[in-house]
Amino acid sequence: MATSICLLLWVLLIANTVWTQSVRQAYEVLDLEEWDVHDDFFCPRECFCPPSFPTALYCENRGLREIPAIPSRIWYLYLENNQIETIPEKPFQNATQLRWINLNKNKITNYGIEKGALSQLKKLLFLFLEDNELEEVPSPLPRSLEQLQLARNKVSRIPQGTFSNLENLTLLDLQHNKLLDNAFQRDTFKGLKNLMQLNMAKNALRNMPPRLPANTMQLFLDNNSIEAIPENYFNVIPKVAFLRLNHNKLSDAGLPSKGFDVSSILDLQLSHNQLTNFPRINANLQHLHLDHNKIKNVNISVICPTTLRAEQDAFIHGPQLSYLRLDGNEIKPPIPIDIVTCFKLLQAFII
C-alpha cells in the first residue's frame, strides 16, 4: 500500500515538475513523537486502516454519505468517490495531524461545509475537492494549505479574503468552473505570496484575471473567451514561464504592443485563437503552439527574436525555440527556409 501511495505521489510530482523542488516532503516524514501513543489504533468500521501505514485512512469508493470520525493519528485521509454532501466539524475534532484530504467526486455543497470544519485543521497541506457541487471557493481555509484543487465544480464566487492568509499556497486549480470576470475583486489574490500554479482553464472569462500573485510561474487559461491581454500585463508576473491560452478569442489587436516578448516565458500555447500575424516572441522561448489561428505569412525578418549576444554564441544565446506548431493556419507553401536559419535549435516543426 505504501508503495502505491509513493507511486501516486511520484506521478503527481512528475505531473507538476515546476514546483517539485519546493513542495515539502511532508509524506516522507513520520514524526513518531507527534503521535498520540495512547491512540488504540481505532479504525472506523467503514474504512480500511493498513497496519503498515498507520497514518493513512482509506474510506474511498464505499457509497458513504457521511464522514466517519477521524482518529487522531491520521495524516492522509482518502474519501474520494462517495456520496458525501457535508463536511461537519465533529468528525475532525481529534484529527489535528491531518496533512492530506481527498474528497474528490462527492456531492459537497457550500451549505454543507460547517464554518470551522476546514480551518480547524491547522496542519493541512493538500485539499482535494474536485468534482463536487461547490458554487464558491470554501472559506475559511487552513492557513497552512499548499494545494487547493477545485476543478469541475460550479464555482462562480470567491468570498472576500478567502486567500488573504494562504501564504503557503503554491497551487490553485479552478479549472472547469463557472468563473466570470466579476468573480475577482482588487484584492482577491492578495496574500498568495507563494502561488506558482494557477489554473482557470474552462471558465467563462473574457478578460485576463487581474493582479495575479508575483510568483506565478504557470498560468493556464485555456478554453475561456479572452479577447485581449492588457498592456504591461506581464510586468506584475515577472516569473511566468508556462502560459496557456489555447481556445480563446485573441486577435492581433488584442495583444500588448510587445506581444509575447517576455524573457521569462519558456512555453507559450496560443492554439485555436484568431491571430493573423505571428506574434512577437522572446529569444528565450522554447515551445510555441500557434496552430489553428489565421496566420497567412511568416516573415522571418520580422519574427526572428533579436538577441544581445554575438553571432558566434548563437547556439547558446540565440533563439532557444525547439518546438513550433503552425498547422491549421492559412500559410501557403513554400515555407521560408530561413525559419531554420533563425531557430537553429528547432527539433520539431509542425506545419
Ligand X SMILES: *[C@@H]1O[C@H](CO)[C@@H](O)[C@H](O)[C@H]1NC(C)=O
Binding site for ligand X (CB under 6 A): 24, 69, 90-91, 93-94, 143-144, 167-168, 201-202, 222-223, 247, 299, 301-302
Nearer CB in complex with ligand X: 45/186:
45
Q: How far is the CB of 121 from ligand X (least distance, A)?
A: 11
Q: How far is the CB of 237 from ligand X (least distance, A)?
A: 20
- Tell the residue number behind the cell numbers 504592443, with chain if given: 257
Nearer CB in complex with ligand X: 136/222:
222
Q: How far is the CB of 253 from ligand X (least distance, A)?
A: 19
260/77 Cα distance (integer angstroms): 43
Q: How far is the CB of 3 from ligand X (least distance, A)?
A: 27
Q: How many CB atoms lie within 10 A of CB 337?
A: 8
Q: How far is the CB of 315 from ligand X (least distance, A)?
A: 25
Rg of the Cα trace of the chain?
A: 23
Nearer CB in complex with ligand X: 132/223:
223
Q: What are phi and psi of 349, to 5 degrees?
A: -135, 110
Q: How far is the CB of 98 from ligand X (least distance, A)?
A: 13
Nearer CB in complex with ligand X: 94/215:
94
DSSP secondary structure string, 140-186?
S--TT--EEE--SS---B--TTTTTT-TT--EEE--SS---GGG--T
b/e map of 295-325 (b: 16 or more CB within 10 Å)? beebeeeebbbebeeeeeeeeeebbbbbbbb
Nearer CB in complex with ligand X: 216/224:
224
9/20 Cα distance (integer angstroms): 11
Nearer CB in complex with ligand X: 9/317:
9
Which runs of E-coded beta strand occur in 39-110? Answer: 56-58, 76-78, 100-102
Q: How far is the CB of 91 from ligand X (least distance, A)?
A: 6
Nearer CB in complex with ligand X: 65/313:
65
DSSP secondary structure string, 222-278?
-SS---B--TTGGGG-TT--EEE--SS---GGGS-TTTB--TT--EEE--SS---SP
